[in-house]
Amino acid sequence: MKSFVYNGQPARVVFGSGTIARLPQEIDRLGLKRVLVLATPPKEADARRLAGSLGGAAAGVYAGATMHTPVSVTEDALRVVAELKADGLVAVGGGSTTGLAKAIALRTDLPQIVMPTTYAGSEMTPILGETKDGVKVTQSSPRVLPEVVIYDVDLTMTLPASLSGTSGMNAIAHAVEALYARESNPVIDLMAAEAIGALVSALPVIAEKPHDRDARSKALYGAWLCGICLGSVGMALHHKLCHTLGGSFDLPHAETHTIVLPHALAYNAPAVPAVMQTLRAVLKTDDPAMALYDLAGRIGARRALSEIGMPADGIDIATDRALANPYWNPRALEREPIRALIARAYAGERPR
Ligand code: NAD
C-alpha cells in the first residue's frame, strides 16, 4: 500500500429527518444565548419562522446571503452581528448561506451551526471563496469550519428537481476529483466511491419524484461525503475549469460543474487507470465519462455551456485562463486537447 497523509476535518454531524428539532439542544451544547439566523432573500420567511421557534436564543435574522460571498454583504452582516450582540451563527441554506457564515466566522470566530439545504458540501470544508471588486479569492482556514452541521432531509424536499440534479452533479465532481487527487488516500477513496454510488442512484429518482424521501436521504448522505472529499484533498482540472468558466462568464455554479465533469474526466482518464477501474465498478459501466454525460441527460440538465450563457469567443479565453496558474492535475495540461475539451463542453457534445 502506498504511504499517505489523512487530514480529517473536525465536525459534529447530526443526520436524519426532522433533525431541525435538535437545533435548540445544539445551541445549548455550544453555550450560545443569542444566535443570528442567516439565509438568502427568498428564504427570509423560513428563517424568521425558525428564529421565532428558538425564542430568546435567537437574536435576529440576516437574510442577505448571495452567491460568491461578496465582502460587501459580509461587512453588512457584521454590522448586524455587532448591533445584535450575536454570539453564534445558524446558517440555513445552500453554499451561499454557508459561505456567509464562514466569512463572518473568519472575522469573528463566532461558532457556526450549519443546516445545508442543497448538495454543495461547503459545510464540510475549511475553504472560503470571497468576491471583492469582481475578483474571487479563495482561502483555506480551520477558523471557517462549522462547529456543528445538522443535515435534515426535510429541508431539502423543496429544492427544485432541476437544482437538485445539478447540485448533486456538483457534489459528484468533488468525489471524482478526490479519487485522483495528489493527496488521495484510502479513507477518502472509500468515502468518494460510497458518495458517487449514493448520488448516482438517487438523482434520477429525485428528477422524477422530487418528494421521494429515501432518494433525498441518499442524496444528502452522498453530498455530505462529497463535502468531506472536497475539504480533505486538493481538486484538479475539473475544478480549475469550473472556477475559470464561472468567474469569466458569470455562469451558474452547479450547472457549470454538471456540464464540464464528463469532459474533464475523459481528459484525465488515460492518466488514472486505477481510478477508472473504481468508477467502472461504482457506475456499473465501461465508460464512466459517458455515464456521467448520460446521467446529466437523465436528470434533465443542460449539457452545453452555450446554453447557460457562455459566449462563443469564450472558448479561447477560457483555454488561456485555465492554463494560467493551473491546479495540480494527474495528466499534463496540453493546450490543444484542453481547448478541444472546452469546445465540446460548449457545444454539448459527448465526452471523448
Ligand atoms: P445557493 O446556496 O446559491 O442556492 C441556490 C438557490 O437555491 C438560492 O436562491 C437558494 O435560496 C435556493 N435554495 C437553496 N436551498 C433550497 C431549498 N432546499 N429549497 C428551495 N430553494 C433552495 O447554491 P449552492 O449551489 O448550494 O451554493 C453555491 C455557492 O456555494 C457558490 O458561491 C459556491 O462557490 C459555494 N461553494 C463553496 C464551497 C466551499 O467549500 N467553500 C463548496 C461548494 C460550493
**Closest residue CA from atom 19 of ligand 1:** 159
Residue 136 cell numbers, joined: 474571487
**Closest residue CA from atom 28 of ligand 1:** 95
Ligand 1 geometric centre to CA of 125 (Å): 14
* Three-state helix/strand/coil letters over 135-148: EEEEEECHHHCCCE
- The mean predicted confidence, pLDDT, of the chain is 97
Q: Given ligand 1 and candidates 92, 253, 256, 257, which is best to mutate, with the most ligand atoms within 8 Å of its CB? A: 253
**pLDDT at res. 135:** 78
CATH 3.40.50.1970 residue ranges in the chain? 12-156
CA distance 242 to 177: 13
Cβ neighbour number for residue 253 with a 10 Å cutoff:
19
**Closest residue CA from atom 6 of ligand 1:** 94
Q: Which residues line ligand 1 (CB under 6 A)?
A: 40, 42-43, 67-68, 93-97, 99, 117-118, 120-122, 125, 127-129, 155-156, 158-159, 163, 167, 230, 253-254
Atom of ligand 1 nearest to the CA of 159: 19
Residue pair 107/160 in contact (Cβ under 8 Å)? The answer is: no
**Closest residue CA from atom 35 of ligand 1:** 95
Q: Is residue 334 over pLDDT 90? A: yes
Please state, in angstroms and as integers, the Cα–Cα distance from residue 349 to each residue in 228, 236, 322, 330, 346, following that order.
Answer: 31, 22, 20, 24, 8
Q: What is the pLDDT of residues 193-228, one digit of tens each?
A: 999 999 999 999 999 999 999 999 999 999 999 999
Q: What is the pLDDT of residues 139-187, one digit of tens each?
A: 999 999 999 999 999 999 999 999 999 999 999 999 999 999 999 999 9
Closest CA to 67 of 146, 110, 112, 130: 130
Atom of ligand 1 nearest to the CA of 97: 2
- DSSP characters for 267-332? HHGGG-HHHHHHHHHHHTSS-HHHHHHHHHHHTT----GGGGT--TTHHHHHHHHHHSSPPP-SS-
Q: Is residue 121 over pLDDT 90? A: yes
Is the ipTM of this structure higher than 0.95? yes
Phi-psi region of 44 (alpha: psi -120 to 50; beta: other; left: phi over 0): alpha
CA distance 305 to 220: 26
CATH 1.20.1090.10 residue ranges in the chain? 161-347
Q: Which residue is associated with the grid cell 428558538?
A: 54
Residue pair 329/236 in contact (Cβ under 8 Å)? The answer is: yes
CA distance 122 to 133: 23
Fold of 12-156: Rossmann fold (3.40.50)
Task: Calculate mean pLDDT across residues 81-101.
Answer: 98
Task: Calculate mean pLDDT across residues 106-132.
Answer: 96
**pLDDT at res. 17:** 98
Task: Calculate mean pLDDT across residues 32-59.
Answer: 97
CATH class of 161-347: mainly alpha
Q: Given ligand 1 and candidates 17, 122, 153, 256, which is best to mutate, with the most ligand atoms within 8 Å of its CB? A: 122
Residue pair 280/286 in contact (Cβ under 8 Å)? The answer is: yes
Residue 329 cell numbers, joined: 492535475
